[in-house]
Amino acid sequence: MLRSMVTLNANLNCKCVSMPKNVWPMSANWCQYSTQLSPQLVPNEKFNAFVAQMNAEKRMANRYLLIEDKCNSLAKLNAHNLSQLLDTRVNHIHRWSFNQNSCALVELNEDNYYLRRDIRRNFGCDDSRRSQLTVKTNGLKFITLKTCPRLSPNKTNSGNNDVIREMTTRRRDASYLNTNYLRQIMKTNEELLSYLVYGKHFDVLDLKLRFYIISQLEQYICHTFFKNHQILPFGSSIAGLGTPNSDLDLVLVPNKLSEDQLSREGDRQRLTTNLNLIADLLQHSVPYYSHFSRILKARIPIIKFGFELAPIDIDLSIEISPHSVHSGVYMSAYLNHCILLHPCVRDLILLLRVWAKQHKLLKPKNWSTHIVYNGFTSFQLTALVIYFLQKQEIVPPMRQFLSHTSDRFILSRRDVSTLELLSEFLEFVLSLRCEWEAISILDGTTFPNPEPHLPIWMQNPFQTELNMCRNITPVKFDKFLEITHLSSEIMKTKAFNLVDIFDKDLHMNSYANGSKTSRIDVENLFID
């Protein structure tokens, strides 16, 4: 049987391409070969530098204090006033509001703080120790301000110039771009690019708030039932691709390898038991966390929950690989390394995420956790962009990043712009022969597709026998190619308007213009 994919365009020209003879069938030999290619996750200098920076943020988070304001008094308090009340120096106050909650993240000069006896009730703390002048609150990472504390007349706040940031809800963040409005206010493509990439910038508060959450969770999880463990973050928020509404991906890992460490093959029941224990502990003992969902039958079981005082959804898993560090942390370190090599890397990834989301090509944020999504996720799209950048010699293959050799990656294109890369990426995707070639970001190359019946095969860089795009169906992939083709045609025009590729009716307009591109499988039309 001859396999062929036919591209139909407006004038109904057909182009048939025969299948290469060296396509490998999916077999035990392939699995054995791919397993041998799996990298050994041994920390090297680049990875250790990334982890050192992450640990520094975690240590700083031990000095963060969360204040929930029940009486709208935070605007009247500055760092000097809080220093009086907490009996320690306050370095900075980050203020925000979310769902009618006024909050502040306070950076203290020390890990410990003290509450004066006369204001403990104002902060919602236990008032049973009346005989003491102060109450040491080492480890208490949050307080509730119930009434405005009385301040000394000679030290009254003279005004606070800090901006109180308004955080949007998760639902509002999922809204689509109003392209008609953008056409009116954005005069140039560069102006629109800056708005889309930096309009929802991941700022200092977003990062510090996530590390505060990590510090608080470690206090309750790692200091009780899971001693000698720590919580490590990974994903977009840590890699440098985060937005204020990005999820916080966390993994509980042992500080050192031990013989009784969990394994995927040996003790899945123990793993789910531990996740249930953590979920019960957080749900009933720790404030500000809600909407718990236990996804225990997935390939990698997780618990999902939300932070009530900011638009942050949290995914927590337990490391069960034989490695001391979670593979997601390695991926985050690699992505962060790529972003630091060239500023266009981050801009291109974020721009394409907005583009894919606008055309409903990405998994929605409110998608049910119990239903497998049959389209692209943000990570899968990011991996495809990384492969494109590897072929452009802008970022190195992942294996080179993971290696312990002293070979330095030489950047070949320093002066390229984000818009140039965007146009090249769209054409690059259309040139891929996904029916016959599988993609490897581990080596920055392709190899014969082990499962040609799947629309796209992208190698998991840590378990190389797995296809990390296996969930994508032909219908979803065809739509992705159609939108890519239409967007590419727009960018080929001499004076194109960038906002046109974000028109959510782009797909429907192609029908009216008679130029819709469709990709269909015509396997049954050909017989040997």
Q: Give the CATH number of domain 171-192+342-508.
A: 1.10.1410.10
Summarize pLDDT for 5-15 with one digit per residue, the tens: 333 333 323 33
Between 71 and 526, the more confident residue is 71
Read off the pLDDT of each residue in 469-493 and give the average, rounded to a whole number. Answer: 94
Model confidence pTM above 0.85: no
Confidence of residue 262 (pLDDT cuts 50, 70, 90): very low
Summarize pLDDT for 16-25 with one digit per residue, the tens: 333 333 333 4
Between 527 and 50, the more confident residue is 50
- For the ranges 206-215, 265-274, 318-327, the lowest mean pLDDT is seen at 318-327
- For the ranges 115-119, 169-173, 465-469, 482-486, the lowest mean pLDDT is seen at 169-173
Q: Are 514 and 476 in contact (CB under 8 A)?
A: no
Confidence of residue 30 (pLDDT cuts 50, 70, 90): very low
**Which helix (H) or strand (E) is 191 found in, with range?**
helix 189-198
Q: Are 513 and 489 in contact (CB under 8 A)?
A: no
Q: Would you state the pLDDT for residue 484?
A: 96
Read off the pLDDT of each residue in 352-367 and give the average, rounded to a whole number. Answer: 85
Read off the pLDDT of each residue in 311-324 and give the average, rounded to a whole number. Answer: 78
Q: Would you state the pLDDT for residue 416?
A: 92
Q: What is the Cα–Cα distance from 71 to 143, expressed in whole angstroms?
A: 13
Total length of the chain: 528
Read off the pLDDT of each residue in 386-395 and give the average, rounded to a whole number. Answer: 95
Sorted by where each begins, the domain ranges of the chain are 63-166, 171-192+342-508, 200-327
Sort strands 142-145 and 64-69 into parallel, antiparallel or unpaired.
parallel
CA distances from 421 to 316, 386, 398 (A): 35, 12, 20
Angle 383-388-393 (CA atoms, 0-180°, nearest 5)?
120
Task: Answer whether residue 519 shows pLDDT above 90.
Answer: no
Q: What is the Cα–Cα distance from 6 to 4, expressed in whole angstroms?
A: 6
Query: Rounded to the nearest 5°, which phi and psi values hold at 58?
Result: -65, -40
Contacts of 77 (CB under 8 A, 6+ apart): 93, 157, 160
DSSP for 396-449, written as a single string: --HHHHH--S-PPP--S-SS--HHHHHHHHHHHHHH--TTTEEEETTTTEEEE-
Could you tell me which CATH class the domain 200-327 is placed in?
alpha beta
In percent, the amount of the chain with pLDDT more than 70 equals: 71
Q: Would you state the pLDDT for residue 151?
A: 58
Q: In the chain, count of helices (H) and strands (E)?
A: 16, 16
